[in-house]
Structure 1
Amino acid sequence: MKVYFLSYNLMNTSTGDYFITLSNKLSEENVVVVIAGKIRETNIILKEDITVLKWPSERPNSWKDFWFLYKLIKTYKPDAMLSMFSFVNPFLIVGWFLRVNIRVAWIRTLSSQYAQKRYKVIRKSLIYSLATNIITNSNTTKKDVSNFFKIPKCKITVLPNSVKDYSDTLLEETTNKKNLLYVGRLHPSKGIDVLLRAFSTLLKRFPNFHLDIIGQGEILKELIALTESLDISKSVSFLGEHKKEMVLKAYKKSFCTIIPSRSEAFGFTVIEAMSVGTCVIGANNTGIKEIIKHEETGLLFETGNPNDLVQKLQIVILDVDYRNSLAQAGYQRFIECYENSVAINRDVEFFNKLIIDDTKI
């Protein structure tokens, strides 16, 4: 049996769902050790034969974390190490030092979200160079990672994000034909100001519509001030962060979910909204346009253009049957391409092949 080390946060999130499911699948034929930063209650339970350990620090960057990992590798002698986010640094550095054969790092964000200080970019580039393989969630991210961190494209594989199909748990939820939704961080790159300006115009024709905004971030006060200046405060609700169950219900309730990001590595909210069968409208850029097939599985609007977003919203508001057909086609695309069970089988096959190919060398 081969030994896999994985490092991620055990949390009730779409990312947590994916990595827990991946760990469970890998454990069917391999030894799996999960090293977590955060351990919280989850919807999906790790199998009992999986060893779960916790980093000394939530963000493992101290000598204690590196020494902790060093001893674990010496004990278990893993064949492959898979990591993401803040866990990449110790996994790649210690894994390389101890000559672990397969060292995989996930990159799920664009360089525009990364600190642009030159020494940090150089440092991260050097760390990524220690990986045998890099996984990105879209072709957009692959191109960006290759250019920004100077990683050869031959070293990068695209494995799109995936989420669990929770549609069966939402059968009692009904769609509110006058409710629009945004879910995500409140950050300048997310284009929420574009959405608010579009919604302000939309209200002139459809005054009974309401916009819910779920998420927290650094520009909350600015966005609230913008709603006040546009005189739409009574029609917009800033709901803050919510547990996953509540977010899924919000997707299901919404007549349309809007993703107005100015750039997006992939767009988790796109497939989450599709997974519950709601209509999705997204900005026509980067990772978003890799998921939404315009006028087939959703609609795309010109990035940063509130007037074009208004036009796209009016199309689905005035033609509910068309809106429903887009929602159904979006759900079908989700099932075929982005549902966890499909993605897990694809990804496990990829990782097992890495080990098989390595043994042939």
Structure 2
Amino acid sequence: MNTCFISYNIMPTSTADYFITLSNKLSETNKVVVIAGKIRETKIKLNKDITVLNWPSERPTSWKDFWFLIKLVRLYKPDMMISMFGFVNLFLIVGWLFRVKIRVAWIRTLSSQYAQKKYKVIRKSLIYSLATDIITNSQATKKDVALFFKIPERKITVLPNSVKNYKNSLQKINLDSNNLLYVGRLHSSKGIDVLIQAFSQIVQKYPNLQLDIIGQGPLLNQLIDLTKSLGLIDRVSFLGEKNKETVLEAYKKSYCTIIPSNSEAFGFTVIEAMSVGTCVIGANNSGIKEIIVNEETGLLFKTGDFDALARQLERILMDVNYRNNLANAGYSRFLNCYETTHAINRDTMFFEKLLNVRI
């Protein structure tokens, strides 16, 4: 039996749901050790035969975290180490030092979200070079990683993100034909100002519309000022951060969820919205356009063009049947490509193949 180390936060989020489910699947044929920064109550539980350990620090960057991992590697002698986010550095360094045969880094963000200081880029490039395999969530992220961090493409495999099928559990939530939705960070890279500008145009023709914005971030006050200047203070609601259940209900209620990001590694919001069966409109860039098939499973608009977004919004507001057809096709695409059961089977086969070939 092979031993697999996996590091992630155990939280009530879609990302954690996926990694908990993957850990459970891998534990059917392997010894699995999960090393978590944060451990919170979740609906999906790890199998009892999985060893769950806590990093000394929530974000492991100190010497005590380094020695903690060294002791674990000496004790368990893992054959494979999988990490993502803030856990990558120590996993790759210690894994390389102790010649762990399979060292996997899971990259889920674009370089545009990374601190651009030259020494940090060089340092991260060196750390990524210690990986035997890199996983990205989209072709866009793969190309970005290869160019920005100088990683050979042969080392990079694309395994798209996934979420559970939530549609059936939200049948009691009614559609609100006047509700539009944004979910995500309030950050300049997310294009929320473009959405508000487009909304200011469309609300003149559809005065009962309401735009809900769920999320926190440094742009909050600036966006509130924008809504005030456009006379939208009663039509746009900044709802702050919400728990997962509330966000899913918001997706289900919305007539359309809009993803106006200037760039996006994957577009997690896109598949979350699709998973409940709502309509999606996204900016035509990077990871978003890999998920939405324009005019088939949703609509795309030119990135940064609020006039183009307003036109796409008007198309679905004018024709509810067209909106419903897009929503239904988007849900079907989600089931076929991005639903967790499908993804877990795909990804488990990938990791089992690595173990079979290299161990």
Aligned-residue offset at 1:106: 0.5
Corresponding residue for 1:213?
Answer: 213
Return the offset for 1:357.
1.2
Segments of structure 1 that go 5 or more residues without pairing to the other structure are none
Q: What is the letter of the counterpart of residue 32 of structure 2?
A: V
Further displaced range: 90-99 or 164-173: 164-173
**Counterpart residue number, 1:198:** 198
Counterpart of 1:346 in structure 2 is: 346
Q: Counterpart amino acid of 2:182?
A: Y
Deviation of 1:342 (Å): 0.3
The reply on whether 1:187 has 2:177 as its aligned counterpart is no
SS at match of 1:346: helix
Correspondence 1:122-271 to 2 at 5 A: 122-271=122-271
Q: Matches of 2:303 and 2:12 in 1, distance apart?
A: 31
Counterpart-to-counterpart distance in 2, 1:329 and 1:27: 35
> How far did residue 290 of structure 1 move?
0.2
Listed as ranges, the matches of 1:77-116 within 5 Å are 77-116=77-116
CA–CA separation in structure 1 for the residues paired with 2:118 and 2:257: 37
Q: Tell me whether 1:118 sits opposite 2:113 in the alignment.
A: no
Distance 2:16 2:43 in 1: 9
Q: Any idea what SS the aligned residue of 2:47 has?
A: coil
Q: TM-score, normalising length from structure 1?
A: 0.99
Matched, 1:53 2:53: yes
Equivalent in the alignment of 1:71: 71
Question: 1:43 Cα shift?
Answer: 1.7
Counterpart Cα distance in 1 of 2:203 and 2:167? 30
What secondary structure, in the 3-state scheme, does the structure 2 residue paired with 1:5 have? strand
Q: Which residue of 1 aligns with 2:34?
A: 34
Where 2:148 maps in the other structure, the secondary structure is helix
- 1:167 deviates by 1.4
SS of aligned partner of 1:151? coil
Amino acid of the structure 2 residue aligned with 1:312:
Q
Offset, 1:85: 0.4
> In the aligned structure 2, how far is the partner of 1:165 from the partner of 1:21?
14
Q: Distance in 2 between matches of 1:265 and 1:55?
A: 27
Cα deviation, residue 12, structure 1: 0.6
State the one-letter code of the partner of 2:281: I
**Residue 26 of structure 1: how far off its partner (Å):** 0.4
What is the aligned residue count? 359
1:192-246 residue CA offsets vs partner (Å, 9 max, x unmatched): 0000000000111001100000000011000000000111010000000000000
CA distance in 2, matches of 1:17, 1:168: 18
Partner SS, residue 104 of structure 2: strand
Q: Aligned partner of 1:174: which letter?
A: N
What CA distance in whole angstroms lies between the structure 2 residues aligned with 1:79 and 1:354? 10
Q: Counterparts of 1:41 and 1:251 in 2: how far apart (Å)?
A: 23
Structure 1 residue 190, shift from structure 2 partner: 0.2
% of aligned pairs identical?
Answer: 70
Match of 2:14 in 1: 14
Q: Partner letter of residue 222 of structure 2? A: E
Distance 1:329 1:50 in 2: 38
- Secondary structure of 1:234 counterpart: coil
Give the SS at the match of 2:185: coil
Query: Partner amino acid for 1:342?
Result: H
Matched with 1:299 is: 299
1:294-316 deviation digits (Å, cap 9, x = unpaired)? 00000001110001101100100
Question: Residue 32 of structure 1: SS of its match in structure 2?
Answer: strand
* Post-superposition offset of 1:132: 0.2
- 1:286 corresponds to which residue? 286
Which runs of at least 4 in structure 1 moved beyond 6 Å after TM superposition? none
Structure 1 position 356, deviation (Å): 1.1
Q: Which amino acid aligns with 2:97?
A: F
Residue type matched to 2:186 in 1? L
After superposition, give the CA deviation of every residue in 1:291-345 in whole Å (9 maximum; x if it has no partner).
0000000000111000110110010011001100100000000000000010000
Task: Tell me the residue number matched to 2:336.
Answer: 336
Measure the CA separation in 1 of the matches of 2:117 and 2:310.
Answer: 38
CA–CA distance in structure 2, aligned partners of residues 196 and 171 of structure 1: 29
Task: Report the secondary structure of 1:15's partner residue.
Answer: helix
Please state whether the residue corresponding to 1:10 is helix, strand or coil. Answer: coil
**Distance between the aligned counterparts of 2:92 and 2:269, measured in 1?**
29
The alpha carbon displacement at 1:96 in A equals: 0.4
Q: Distance in 1 between matches of 2:228 and 2:41?
A: 38
Q: Secondary structure at the match of 1:310?
A: helix
In 2, distance between residues paired with 1:20 and 1:347?
13
Query: In the alignment, what sits opposite 1:311?
Result: 311
Following superposition, the deviation at residue 142 of structure 1 comes to 0.3
Query: Which amino acid counterpart does residue 103 of structure 1 have in structure 2?
Result: R
Q: What is the alpha-carbon distance in structure 2 between the residues aligned to residue 258 and residue 70 of structure 1?
A: 45
Cα distance in 1 for residues equivalent to 2:194 and 2:203: 14
1:13 corresponds to which letter in structure 2? T
Aligned AA for 2:307? N
Which runs of 5 or more residues in structure 2 are unaligned?
Answer: none
